[in-house]
Amino acid sequence: MRVKTRPAPQRTVGRMTTPPPYPPIADHGLIGDLQTAALVSSDGTVDWFCSPRFDSPSVFASLLDRQRGGFCRIRPAGHTEPGRQLYFPDSAVLITRFMTGEGTGEVVDFMPPLPDEAATERHRIVRIVRCVRGRMTFELDVAPRFDYGRRTHRALITDDGAVFECGGFGLAVHAVREPGDPRLVSGHVTGAQDLHATLSLVEGQTRGVVLETGVPGPPRAVPAARARELFEATVRFWHGWLAQSTYRGRWREAVDRSAITLKLLTHEPSGALVAAPTAGLPEQLGGERNWDYRYTWVRDASFAVSSLLRLGFTSEAVAFGRWLTDRCEEGGPLRVMYAVDGSADLTEEVLDHLEGYRGSSPVRAGNGAAGQLQLDIHGEFLDSVHAAHLAGVRISHRGWYAVVEQLEWLMQNWDQPEEGIWETRSGRADFTYGRVMSWVAFDRAIRVATAEGRPGPVERWRSARDRIYGQVWERGWDRKTGAFVQRYGSSALDASLLRLPQVGFVSPRDPVWLDALDAMEPLVRDSLVLRYDTEAAPDGLRGSEGTFSLCTFNHVTALALSGRAAEARLVFEKMLTYGNHLGLFAEEIALTGEQLGNFPQAFTHLALVDAALTLDAELTRRG
C-alpha cells in the first residue's frame, strides 16, 4: 500500500480550489439514513452534510459558504451544465444524470438506512458512478471542512481511497470498483488537504466512492457488487416502508414524496422528527432571518405524526409518543423544542466566519427560540394523541400521566402572554392561536379520557376549555371586520388561524367562519399566503419574508372544508408548481417564485399531505 501525506496547512480554514457556485436552494435532492441527511445539488455536489446527527457540526457546508464550507462533487470533466435529477421510484435514492457529446453518465446517491441500530457515528453516503452510454470521464473532488469549517484536518491517500482526520473524528473515502480496476486514477491530495481524482468509464462500467464518517480508519476497496447490494437493500427498505401507506388519492406522487421526506427527517433511534435538515438558509436573501431548524419542535413533530397517521403509518406515532413522554417526565412544562436526544440546551451562536448563503448573514447554529413560551404546543401534542387514539394507537400508562401533569401546568398558565407559533422576538402578547390550541389541548384530553376510561380531572378540564372558548370569541374575533385577529387588542391578521375549522374550534360551514375566511384575503398573493403582514404586526426583526408554504397548504384545507372545493383545487395545483424538480418544498416562496428558507421543511410537507387528503375527501363526496 502506498501512502502519500502532507502536513496540515497552518491556517484555520483552507481555501478550496474552484469551489462550486451557490445553487438555488431548491436545486437539491435529499438523502438520509434516518439519523442524519445530506443535500445533493443537480451538478453532483454534496454541499450540506452533518454527522453523526442532524444537528451535529457540518462536514460539508458549501451551501453556507462556498469557500470555507466544504463539499464533495462528482461531475463530468470539463462539463459545467447541471444534470437532471430524479428519485428511483418510491425511494430516497437520488439519481443525477449527465449528458455530454461523448456519452451519458449517472451519479446514484443514497445513504443506507440504519433503522434498527442505536445512534452511531458511522454514516455512509454511497455515490455510485456509472456510464450508461458511450464514454465519460468524471472528476471527483472531496473537500471536507469539519466543525462548520472551523477546524483543520490531515489527509492521506492510498490505493483504496483516502482518509481525512480531524481530532479523533474523520471521513474515509472508500473507492468503489470492479475487480481488476485501477485505483483512483490521478488521485492526489491538494495543498488544501483535499482529494482530487478522475474516473474514466466506458458504457456499462461502474465506479464510485463510499464516504464514511466516524473514527478514521484506513480506506478500503468496495467491490461494485457490494455497492449494488447496498443500493438494492436501500430501495427495498423504502419500498417496504411506503407500502404501509393507505393513500390512493388523486395526488399520490406528491403525497408519497412528502411522506418519504417526513420519514427522512426522523431520527430513528429516538423517534424524534426534525423541522428541517438545514441551518441558516435565508427567508430573505441578504437578510437576518436565518435560523437553525435541525431540532425537534413539539409542534412540528406532533403535526407530522398526525399527518403520517392519516396515511396509515403508526410506528412513527408510537416512537414519538415514547420520546415525548420522556420529555414530559423530566418535570416542568414542555419546551418549544429539543435536540433529537431530548437535551434542551440549544444555545444560539453566530458562525461569523461563514458568509451565509449568497451573503445572507448571520449564520446561526442553535436556536434562541428554545427558551420561549409558546402555549400552542400543548394543543398540537394532545391533538396528535387524539389522532393516534382514533387510529387505534392507545396512549401508554406513563404517557397518560405525563399528559395529566402537563395539563395541570396549562390550567395555571394558559391565560398569559407568549411569543406565539411564529416565535416573534418583539415581546410577548396574547396570541389568539395560542389560546385556541390551549382549548384543543383540554378538548382532546377530555375526549381521550372519556373514550378510554382514563383518570383525570375532566370537569376542571371542561371548565378551562369552556372559559378559553368564550374568551377567544370575545377578544380574538373582531365583530366589525368579521376576522379572527392575530393577538388580542390588534386588528392584524394571521394565517395560523386558518386552522380553526381543522381543529374543530368553529364549524367550517358556519357563516361567521365563511366571513372570517374571506377576511384573510389581504394575506393572499396570487393563491400564495403570508404568515402575517410584518408592517401591521412587527415581529422584532428587520426585513420582510416570502409567502409561507405551510400557510398556503392550510388555506387549501380551509377552503376545502368550507365547501369551496373548486377554488381549493386550483390553489393546490398552483402550489404544486412551486415545488422543485423532485417535489420538495422549502419554507417560503419569494416574489420571483424562488424557494427560500430551510429545505426541505417538514411543516410544509405535512401540510401538503393534510391538504391533499382533505381535498380528496371533499371532491369524492361531491362526486
Contacts of 596 (CB under 8 A, 6+ apart): 25, 281, 282, 283, 284, 285, 545, 546, 586, 587, 588, 589, 590
- Given 206, 239, 272, which residue is the final one in a domain? 239
> Is residue 480 exposed (0-12), middle (13-18) or buried (19+ Cβ within 10 Å)?
exposed
| 3-class SS of residue 98 | strand
Give the residue-averaged pLDDT of 453-473: 98
- Whether 68 and 124 map to the same domain: the answer is yes
Task: Check pLDDT > 50 for residue 220.
Answer: yes
Task: Report how far residue 373's alpha carbon sits from residue 381's, in angstroms, rounded to the nearest whole number.
Answer: 15
Task: Look at 616 and 179; give whichever has higher pLDDT.
Answer: 616
pLDDT on residue 13: 35
CA dihedral of 545, 292, 143, 83, whole degrees rounded to 10: -50
- Whether 508 and 435 map to the same domain: the answer is yes
Write the pLDDT tens digit of every residue in 512-536.
999 999 999 999 999 999 999 888 7
- Whether 425 and 475 map to the same domain: the answer is yes
Task: Check pLDDT > 80 for residue 562.
Answer: yes
Short-list 568, 549, 567, CA closest to 615: 568
Specify if 231 maps to a domain: yes
Task: Check pLDDT > 50 for residue 8.
Answer: no
Write the pLDDT tens digit of every residue in 242-290.
999 999 999 999 999 999 999 999 999 999 999 999 999 999 998 888 9
| Count of residues in the chain | 623
pLDDT on residue 426: 79
Alpha carbon 119 to chain centroid, angstroms:
19
Specify if 245 maps to a domain: no
CA distances for 254 relative to 84, 575, 581, angstroms: 19, 11, 11
- Whether 464 and 537 map to the same domain: the answer is yes
Write the pLDDT tens digit of every residue in 94-141.
999 999 999 999 999 999 998 777 888 899 999 999 999 999 999 999
| CATH of residue 509 | 1.50.10.10
Hey, how many other C-beta atoms are within 10 angstroms of the C-beta on 362? 14
- Whether 230 and 262 map to the same domain: the answer is no
> Tell me, what amino acid is at 545?
E
Task: Report how far residue 329's alpha carbon sits from residue 619's, in angstroms, rounded to the nearest whole number.
Answer: 43
> Tell me, what amino acid is at 283?
E
Task: Report how far residue 362's alpha carbon sits from residue 102's, in angstroms, rounded to the nearest whole number.
Answer: 44
- Give 85's pLDDT tier (boundaries 50, 70, 90): very high
- Whether 200 and 280 map to the same domain: the answer is no
- Whether 475 and 595 map to the same domain: the answer is yes
pLDDT on residue 17: 52
- Whether 326 and 454 map to the same domain: the answer is yes
- Given 214, 239, 264, which residue is the final one in a domain? 239
Predicted TM-score (pTM) of the model is 0.94
- Whether 171 and 273 map to the same domain: the answer is no
Write the pLDDT tens digit of every residue in 16-66.
456 678 999 999 999 999 999 999 999 999 999 999 999 999 999 999 999
Domain count within the chain:
2
Specify if 244 maps to a domain: no
Give the residue-averaged pLDDT of 354-358: 96
pLDDT on residue 187: 65
- Whether 44 and 191 map to the same domain: the answer is yes
pLDDT on residue 182: 66
- Whether 256 and 225 map to the same domain: the answer is no
Specify if 399 maps to a domain: yes
- Given 211, 239, 267, which residue is the final one in a domain? 239
Which grid cell is 459?
Answer: 370537569
Task: Check pLDDT > 70 for residue 6.
Answer: no
Specify if 247 maps to a domain: no
Give the residue-averaged pLDDT of 153-174: 92
Ramachandran angles phi, psi of 187, nearest 5°:
-70, 135
Which grid cell is 372?
Answer: 420561549
- Whether 144 and 284 map to the same domain: the answer is no
Task: Check pLDDT > 70 for residue 499.
Answer: yes
CB 599 within 8 A of CB 276: yes
Specify if 68 maps to a domain: yes
Write the pLDDT tens digit of every residue in 307-321.
999 999 999 999 999
Task: Check pLDDT > 50 for residue 5.
Answer: no
pLDDT on residue 185: 54
Domain that holds residue 578: 252-343+355-622
Pair type for strands 169-177 and 222-223: parallel
Which grid cell is 37?
Answer: 441527511
Task: Report how far residue 356's alpha carbon sits from residue 563's, in angstroms, rounded to the nearest whole number.
Answer: 44
| CATH of residue 47 | 2.70.98
